[in-house]
Amino acid sequence: MFITVGFDEDHGNELWAYDPAGDGPVLLKNIHAGTFGTYFGSNSGHVPFVEIDGVGYFAAAADSWSAKSSGNELWRSDGTVAGTWLVKDINPGDGSSSPLDFYNVDGVLFFTADDGTHGRELWKSDGTEASTMLVKDITDTNPFDTGFGNFAVDGETLFFSAENWSMYSMLWKSDGTEEGTVLVKDIYPGSRRLYIGEMVSFQGLLFFSAMGDNVTKKQLWTSDGTAAGTSLFKVLSEGYNSNPHDFIVSGDTLYFIATFGRDDLDLWKTDGTVDGTVMVKDFSPTEGSGPRNLISFKNTLFFEGRDGTIGPGIWTSDGTADGTKMVGDLYPGSRARSVWDLVAGDDFMVFMAKESSLISSTQLWRSDGTEAGLRRIEITLPGGAEVEYYSIRQFTRSQGSIFFTTEDDIYGREVWSTDGTDEGTQLLIDLHPGPNDSNPKIVGVIGERGTGGETLLFGGDDGFHGNELWKVAGGPSLRPSSFAEWKEEQFTPGQLADPLLSGPDGDPDGDGITNLGEYVHGGSPNRVDANPVEILPLNDAQGEITSVTVTFPWTRGMTDVGYELQISTDLGSWELLESGVINVASQGDADLITLRAEPPDLGAIEVFVRLRVFEL
C-alpha cells in the first residue's frame, strides 16, 4: 500500500496558508478593481499620513499608472472594510486635489489640497464628507497656489509658513475657522527675502528659524501667536546665518542643530530661556562633520554624527559637552563611511551604515543606546541568498517592532519586520510570491501604542488585485470572530452576492485552497498560497506502511469550524478515517497539530488521504 496526497477541486480544504509569526497581512480594501490597482501617496511620491483617534488618513487614487496626475484624493481607514472610504472627492471627477501636509490639531485633520478652483490652500476634516472644507483661501488671486512651507501644532492652533503669489514667506496661524486663520506677523516688512524655516512648539511658545533682516540673518525666533509676542529670541552666530533646524524635544530640553560661523554645524539646546540657550558641543569644522537627524529615545537624545576625528556613528548627549559622545565604534580598526536612517523603536533603534564607498558594504545595525547593545543585524535567506541591504527603506515603528521594505532574489521587494535581533528580523509576507516585487509602500500605523492593537497599513501588489491597501494587525483579537465576518473583510459587495465565488467552497485565486480553508488557517482568497500540510507514511520493519501522520497549523479561537481526516481510493467518494491527536505544539497564533491514523490495508490499491475542514 502507498499513500498520495489527494486534491479535490470542490473540497480542497486540505490546503491553506499559515503565517507562523501570527496574523498575516490581509487585503483590507480593493479600492480599484483590476490589475492596475491604486496609487498611494501624493504627486511628490511620499504618502502623507496621520492617525487621529484610531483612524488613519492618507492620499490615494485609482489606477496606479494614470493617477499620479489625477484622481488623488483624501481617504480614511480604521483597519476594517466598512471603515475604509473616500472622504471627499475634493477636485471632482478626474481631477486630483493631491492632499498634503497632514496634521492632527486637537482631533481635527488639517491638510492642504487643490480643489481645482482656489489652487492649493488650507483644508480641514473630521473624516466625513460634510465636514471636509476649505478653511481659507489665503492667496485669493485664483487659481494661484499658496506656497506652504513648515508647520507646527500648539494645542488647538496650527502654525505654518506660507507664500502668496508675490513670493513673501510669512508666519500664519489657524484655529480651523476662516476668521481665525490669520497672519501672525510680517517679520521682514517689504522684503522678498523673508525666510521662515523649521518650527516646533515648546513650553507654550513657537520656536522657529527666521530671517528678520539682512544684518541679523537667519536666527532663532519665538512667538506666542501674537504680533507683539513674535520676536528674535537669540542671535546664535553674529554676522552669519545660524539657520537653526532639526528641532527635537527630549525630556525637558529642546535640542536643535545650528551653524556657528561660516560652515560649522553644532549641537545646541534651550530650556526656553535666553540664558539657557547654549551650544552643547562644538564639532570640528572638518568638512562633513557635525550632528544630523536628531531623535529622542527613552527621553535621551541620539543622533548621527562625526567630529572629524572619529565616526561617523551614532552619538548621544545628556546636554553637556562631556556627555556628548559616540555610543560605540561600528568598525574597530577602521572607520564607517556613512550612517543614515536612524529610527527609534520602543526598546531599540535601527540605522544603516557602510564601511566603504562600495554599495555592497551597506549593513543594518541596531542599538539600545549602550556600547554593549550596538551590533549588526544579519538577515538569513534560504540557500545562502543575500539581502540587498542597500535597498532597505521606509522604516516604520509599530507593535514593538520596526517595519521596513527591502529586496532580494528570493522574495523580491516585500515588507519585513525586526525586533532588533537576527532571528526576529524576518519577512512579513511574500505578498507577490517568488522573486516578484509587490513594491510595497508603507502608509502608516493606526491604533493605540503599546496595547498590541496597532495595525500597519501598506499598499502592495499581490499579482492579482494590482496595487491595493493591505493591513497587518497586532494584539490578541486580530482574527475575525466568524466566517461571515471574514468574508466581509475579504470580498466586495458584488463578490459576496456570488456564493460560488465567496462561499465556503469558493477558490477565487485558484490555488486549491477553499475560502473556508483560507479563513481557518490565516490565508487569503486573493493570492496563491503554498500547501503547508505535511503527510508522512510510517513503515514497519518489512517496509510496509502501517500508519500515516498528518501535521498542520490550526489558528486558535475558531469556534465555528471543525476538521477530520478522510480516505478515498478514487478521489470521488470519501470516507471518514479515524485518527487521534499525538502532538500539539505552539506556533505563533496557531497550534501545530499532528494526527495519526491507520488506513486499512488495501494491497496495491492507491489510497488518497486528505484533511477536510467544515462548518459547524
CATH number at residue 609: 2.60.40
Express each pLDDT in 76-87 by its tens digit: 998 887 888 899
Q: In Å, how far from its chain's centre is CA 409? A: 23
Count structural domains, the chain.
3
Residue 459, C-alpha cell as written in the block: 499598499
Output DSSP code: residue 8: -
118 phi/psi in degrees, rounded to 5: -95, -5
- pLDDT tops 80 at residue 415: yes
Higher pLDDT among residues 364 and 46, named by residue: 364
Task: Provide the Cα torsion 302, 304, 307, 310; round to 10°.
Answer: 100
Confidence of residue 124 (pLDDT cuts 50, 70, 90): very high
What pLDDT sits at residue 449? 61
Confidence of residue 1 (pLDDT cuts 50, 70, 90): very low
Q: Of 452, 477, 502, which residue is a domain's last?
A: 477
In the block, which residue shows the cell 480544504? 13
| CB 283, CB 235: distance < 8 Å | no
Q: Of 477, 508, 524, which residue is a domain's last?
A: 477
The Cβ of residue 204 has, within 10 Å, a number of other Cβ atoms equal to: 10
What pLDDT sits at residue 306? 83
Q: By residue range, what is the domain housing residue 102?
A: 1-135
Between CA 391 and CA 414 the distance in angstroms is: 11
Q: Is residue 230 part of a domain?
A: no
Between CA 99 and CA 75 the distance in angstroms is: 10
Percent of the chain with pLDDT over 70: 82
Residues 62 and 129 in one domain: yes
- pLDDT tops 60 at residue 10: no
| CB 363, CB 375: distance < 8 Å | no
Residues 129 and 2 in one domain: yes
Task: Provide the Cα torsion 515, 456, 158, 156; round to 10°.
Answer: 80
Sign of CA pseudo-dihedral 71, 77, 80, 86: negative
Lowest mean pLDDT among 198-207, 309-318, 341-350: 309-318
Express each pLDDT in 16-43 by its tens digit: 122 223 445 667 766 765 545 677 776 5
Confidence of residue 69 (pLDDT cuts 50, 70, 90): very low
Express each pLDDT in 497-532 by its tens digit: 898 888 988 988 888 888 888 887 767 787 776 677
Residues 42 and 115 in one domain: yes
Higher pLDDT among residues 235 and 586, named by residue: 235
Composition of the chain by helix, strand, coil, percent to 5? 5, 45, 50
| CB 375, CB 348: distance < 8 Å | no
Residues 1 and 131 in one domain: yes
326 phi/psi in degrees, rounded to 5: -75, 140
Between CA 32 and CA 61 the distance in angstroms is: 8
Q: Of 428, 455, 477, which residue is a domain's last?
A: 477
Higher pLDDT among residues 403 and 261, named by residue: 403
What pLDDT sits at residue 492? 76
Rounded to the nearest integer, the mean pLDDT of the chain is: 82
Q: Residue 312, preceding bond cis, omega within 30 degrees?
A: yes
User: Strand pairing partners for 223?
Assistant: 206, 230
Confidence of residue 188 (pLDDT cuts 50, 70, 90): confident
What pLDDT sits at residue 569? 85
Residue range 167-188: mean pLDDT, rounded: 89
Radius of gyration, alpha carbons of the chain:
29
Lowest mean pLDDT among 9-23, 216-230, 273-287, 576-590: 9-23
- pLDDT tops 50 at residue 64: no
Q: Residue 143, preceding bond cis, omega within 30 degrees?
A: yes
Helices then strands, counting H and E runs in the chain, come out as: 4, 45
Residues 45 and 116 in one domain: yes
Q: Is residue 187 part of a domain?
A: no
What pLDDT sits at residue 66? 42
Lowest mean pLDDT among 19-23, 251-255, 473-477: 19-23
Residue 211, C-alpha cell as written in the block: 530671517
Residues 542 and 418 in one domain: no
- Pairing assessment for the beta strands 290-297 and 278-281 based on DSSP bridges: unpaired
Percent of the chain with pLDDT over 90: 37
User: Strand pairing partners for 258?
Assistant: 266
Confidence of residue 159 (pLDDT cuts 50, 70, 90): very high
- pLDDT tops 90 at residue 311: no
Residue range 267-287: mean pLDDT, rounded: 89
Express each pLDDT in 535-561 by its tens digit: 887 776 666 777 888 887 777 667 788
Return the SS3 of 250: strand
Residues 469 and 547 in one domain: no
Q: Is residue 523 part of a domain?
A: no
| CB 55, CB 76: distance < 8 Å | yes
Sign of CA pseudo-dihedral 162, 129, 468, 443: positive
Between CA 25 and CA 428 the distance in angstroms is: 8
Residues 1 and 90 in one domain: yes
What pLDDT sits at residue 436? 86
Between CA 161 and CA 49 the distance in angstroms is: 20
Q: In Å, how far from its chain's centre is CA 473? A: 12
- pLDDT tops 60 at residue 45: no
- pLDDT tops 90 at residue 134: yes
What pLDDT sits at residue 260? 82
Residues 546 and 466 in one domain: no
What pLDDT sits at residue 397? 87
Q: Is residue 557 part of a domain?
A: yes
Residues 589 and 471 in one domain: no
What pLDDT sits at residue 329? 83
284 phi/psi in degrees, rounded to 5: -60, 140
Residues 23 and 131 in one domain: yes
Q: Is residue 103 part of a domain?
A: yes
Residues 4 and 128 in one domain: yes
Output the CA–CA distances (angstroms, integers) from residue 336 to 11, 17, 79, 301, 358, in the order listed.
58, 42, 41, 21, 12
* Length in residues, the chain: 616
Residue range 405-418: mean pLDDT, rounded: 90
Non-local (6+) Cβ contacts of 485 within 8 A are none
What pLDDT sits at residue 593? 83
Between CA 603 and CA 595 the distance in angstroms is: 23
* DSSP string for 515-583: HHHHHHHT--TTS------EEEEEE-TTS-EEEEEEEEEEETT--SEEEEEEEESSSSS-EE--EEEEE
Q: Is residue 28 part of a domain?
A: yes
- pLDDT tops 50 at residue 402: yes
Half-sphere exposure of 2 (CA within 13 A, CB side): 3
